[in-house]
């Protein structure tokens, strides 16, 4: 994930290079130690200066690199882990694989709290190493909202808190408000313990309970893992809704489904449809007739989407082909046999890809299902 820092994820000019990056557990101040066995003097690019590792790292750790170990140790000693920047919106306990129970708090951080922006600038450096093409946000824009996940522990007779994840959201305000989840991160050593679910659930609840005119919650360029987590959570919300019951699903996607998904859960149209398709796929799997009907429904929907709202699919091969053909035929919408064949193959490829994604989600959501 370091391609933003080091071109092609390569560092030139060293033998046995090691970069150690330490974060103070509470304040997220950072100590970076760079060491190597030797500088390459006779490699293939011997005429080049070795890369300046610190200079390359600097922009991604704004005002937050300490290179003096003593200075860093002093800073860690001064850390105040009994302080958190905001109000608690949720708390829960979690048991790890070894049976150890830990408390967690989800904090709604107020951007105007003294010191918070500087703290977030330090902590968010972590995402550069764990989210592909991650970006920092402009904290001077008041439309940002940030929830932090803190791990809680008791040292002596005091509660101590350490930040272990966060979610940032941007509010687009027009007549109504659309919230877009932007950065979402759980520290690697606490991943796969269900904390991502908890934070996402708390994010939905926070947005729904604090923004009166909230219209929908969207996500900015979600990756595969996040998408799976979101789909799982969305399904767990909707699965008990009568409009999404097994036999309702077999009838096709209805306005009532869309209405409940949008009004009650703030799903986007695409997400409402996706959740419906996942559920319908699940219930159709063991019934070949229903499965065939489901596949036809998916194909019909994809086809309609390509033809009617091609703007959703700017990078899609099918759209490019369509646009090419349309401009060639100067507005005339007729394709020859070969072109139609190409379109139909591409459409089928899209459908297969989509169903493949659904199938892989299904393998991970079995626990959300109850016998209906
Ligand atoms: C994505 C992320 C937030 C998930 O948080 P998490 O606490 O590990 O997730 P959870 O333990 O709550 O698991 C939620 C679901 O996510 C999926 N998931 C989580 N980690 C996964 C992994 N390594 N591989 C595949 N699926 C994974 C699973 O579907 C899981 O549900 P399951 O355990 O029932 O199968 C976390 O992995 C992370 O911070 N990754 C790096 C940053 C990132 O990619 N952020 C998303 C940017 S859009």
**Ligand 1 centroid from CA 94, angstroms:** 16
Alpha helical stretches, state H, 189-244: 195-210, 224-238
Angle between helices 269-284 and 224-238 (to 10 degrees): 80
**Ligand 1 centroid from CA 368, angstroms:** 16
Minimal CA–CA distance to 238: which of 259, 217, 223?
A: 259
Residues enclosing ligand 1, CB less than 6 A? 130-131, 184-186, 191-197, 222-223, 225-226, 228-229, 232, 364
Reported as a single tens digit per residue, the pLDDT across 303-328 is 777 665 544 444 455 555 555 555 55
Where a domain ends, among 39, 56, 78? 78
- Per-residue model confidence (pLDDT) at position 358: 74
Rounded Cα distance between 182 and 203, Å, is 12
What 3-state class would DSSP assign to 105? strand
Query: Which residue's alpha carbon is at the smallest distance from atom 21 of ligand 1?
Result: 225
171 and 251 assigned to the same domain: no
**Ligand 1 centroid from CA 106, angstroms:** 17
98 and 207 assigned to the same domain: yes
| 3-class SS letters over 10-54 | CCCCEECCEEEEEECCCCCCEEEEEECCEECCCCCCCCCCCCCHH
70 and 92 assigned to the same domain: no
- If one residue of 97, 192, 222 were mutated to test the ligand 1 pocket, choosing by the most ligand atoms within 8 A of its CB, it would be 192
Task: With respect to residue 230, please indicate whether it lies within any of the assigned structural domains.
Answer: no
Task: With respect to residue 280, please indicate whether it lies within any of the assigned structural domains.
Answer: yes
The answer to whether the CB of 75 falls within 8 A of the CB of 83 is no
- If one residue of 135, 218, 225 were mutated to test the ligand 1 pocket, choosing by the most ligand atoms within 8 A of its CB, it would be 225
- Per-residue model confidence (pLDDT) at position 332: 45
Minimal CA–CA distance to 169: which of 143, 140, 201?
A: 143
126 and 69 assigned to the same domain: no
Task: With respect to residue 331, please indicate whether it lies within any of the assigned structural domains.
Answer: yes
97 and 215 assigned to the same domain: yes
- Per-residue model confidence (pLDDT) at position 328: 53
Rounded Cα distance between 91 and 52, Å, is 44
Rounded Cα distance between 372 and 283, Å, is 10
- Per-residue model confidence (pLDDT) at position 7: 86
Q: For residue 80, give the DSSP letter.
A: -
**Ligand 1 centroid from CA 45, angstroms:** 40
- If one residue of 168, 229, 235, 359 were mutated to test the ligand 1 pocket, choosing by the most ligand atoms within 8 A of its CB, it would be 229
Query: Which residue's alpha carbon is at the smallest distance from atom 44 of ligand 1?
Result: 131
Task: With respect to residue 116, please indicate whether it lies within any of the assigned structural domains.
Answer: yes
Minimal CA–CA distance to 106: which of 91, 125, 127?
A: 91
From the first residue on, what is the mean pLDDT of each consecutive set of 10 residues in the chain (372 residues)?
85 92 93 92 72 92 88 90 89 87 94 92 93 90 97 85 96 95 96 95 97 96 91 91 94 96 96 93 89 89 67 49 53 54 68 73 62 44
The answer to whether the CB of 111 falls within 8 A of the CB of 117 is yes
**Ligand 1 centroid from CA 364, angstroms:** 11
The answer to whether the CB of 244 falls within 8 A of the CB of 238 is yes
Query: Which residue's alpha carbon is at the smallest distance from atom 20 of ligand 1?
Result: 192
Q: Could you identify the atom of ligand 1 that is nearest to the CA of residue 197?
A: 12
Which CATH number characterizes residue 179's domain?
A: 3.40.630.30
Rounded Cα distance between 128 and 135, Å, is 7
Task: With respect to residue 226, please indicate whether it lies within any of the assigned structural domains.
Answer: no
Rounded Cα distance between 303 and 69, Å, is 60
Residue with tokens 């009994």: 82
Q: For residue 265, give the DSSP letter.
A: T
Minimal CA–CA distance to 66: which of 25, 22, 26?
A: 22
Reported as a single tens digit per residue, the pLDDT across 41-55 is 776 666 678 899 999
- Which region, left, alpha or beta, applies to residue 103 given φ > 0 means left and ψ of -120 to 50 means alpha? beta
Rounded Cα distance between 82 and 99, Å, is 25
Judged on CB neighbours under 10 Å (0-12, 13-18, 19+), 214 is middle
97 and 65 assigned to the same domain: no
90 and 217 assigned to the same domain: yes
Q: How many domains does the chain have?
A: 3
**Ligand 1 centroid from CA 200, angstroms:** 11
275 and 346 assigned to the same domain: yes
244 and 363 assigned to the same domain: yes
Which CATH number characterizes residue 16's domain?
A: 3.90.360.10
Write out the two tokens for 254.
Answer: 């209805």
The answer to whether the CB of 146 falls within 8 A of the CB of 124 is no
List the domain range (segments joined by +) for residue 355.
235-368
- Per-residue model confidence (pLDDT) at position 319: 54
Alpha helical stretches, state H, the chain: 53-57, 69-78, 116-123, 127-130, 195-210, 224-238, 246-249, 255-263, 269-284, 288-308, 317-328, 337-365
**Ligand 1 centroid from CA 216, angstroms:** 23
**Ligand 1 centroid from CA 164, angstroms:** 14
Q: For residue 317, give the DSSP letter.
A: H
Where a domain ends, among 78, 97, 132? 78
362 and 239 assigned to the same domain: yes
Where a domain ends, among 221, 249, 269? 221
């Amino acid at each position: 994930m370091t391609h933003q820092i080091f071109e092609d994820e390569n560092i030139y000019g060293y033998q046995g290079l090691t970069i150690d990056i330490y974060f103070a557990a509470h304040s997220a101040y950072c100590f970076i130690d760079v060491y190597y066995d030797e500088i390459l003097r006779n490699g293939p690019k011997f005429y080049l200066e070795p890369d300046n590792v610190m200079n390359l790292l600097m922009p991604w750790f704004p005002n937050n690199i300490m290179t003096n170990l003593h200075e860093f140790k002093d800073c860690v000693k001064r850390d105040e882990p009994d302080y958190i920047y905001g109000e608690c919106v949720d708390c829960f306990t979690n048991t790890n694989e070894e049976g150890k129970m830990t408390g967690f708090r989800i904090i709604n951080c107020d951007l105007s709290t003294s010191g918070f922006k500087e703290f977030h600038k330090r902590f968010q450096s972590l995402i550069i190493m764990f989210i592909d093409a991650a970006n920092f946000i402009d904290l001077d824009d008041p439309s940002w909202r940030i929830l932090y996940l803190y791990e809680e522990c008791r040292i002596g007779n005091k509660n101590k808190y350490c930040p272990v994840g966060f979610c940032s959201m941007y509010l687009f305000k027009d007549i109504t408000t659309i919230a877009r989840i932007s950065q979402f991160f759980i520290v690697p050593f606490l991943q796969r313990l269900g904390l991502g679910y908890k934070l996402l659930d708390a994010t939905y609840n926070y947005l729904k309970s604090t923004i009166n005119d909230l219209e929908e919650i969207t996500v900015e360029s979600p990756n595969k893992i996040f998408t799976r987590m979101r789909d799982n959570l969305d399904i767990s919300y909707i699965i008990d809704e009568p409009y999404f019951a097994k036999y309702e699903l077999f009838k096709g996607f209805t306005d009532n489904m869309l209405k409940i998904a949008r009004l009650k859960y703030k799903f986007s149209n695409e997400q409402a449809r996706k959740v419906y398709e996942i559920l319908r796929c699940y219930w159709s799997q063991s019934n070949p007739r229903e499965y065939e009907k489901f596949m036809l429904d998916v194909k019909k929907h994809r086809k309609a989407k390509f033809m009617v709202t091609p703007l959703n699919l700017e990078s899609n091969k099918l759209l490019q082909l369509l646009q090419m053909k349309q401009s060639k035929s100067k507005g005339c919408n007729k394709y020859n046999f070969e072109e139609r064949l190409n379109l139909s193959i591409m459409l089928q490829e899209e459908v297969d890809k989509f169903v493949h994604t659904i199938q892989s989600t299904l393998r991970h959501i079995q626990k959300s299902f109850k016998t209906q």
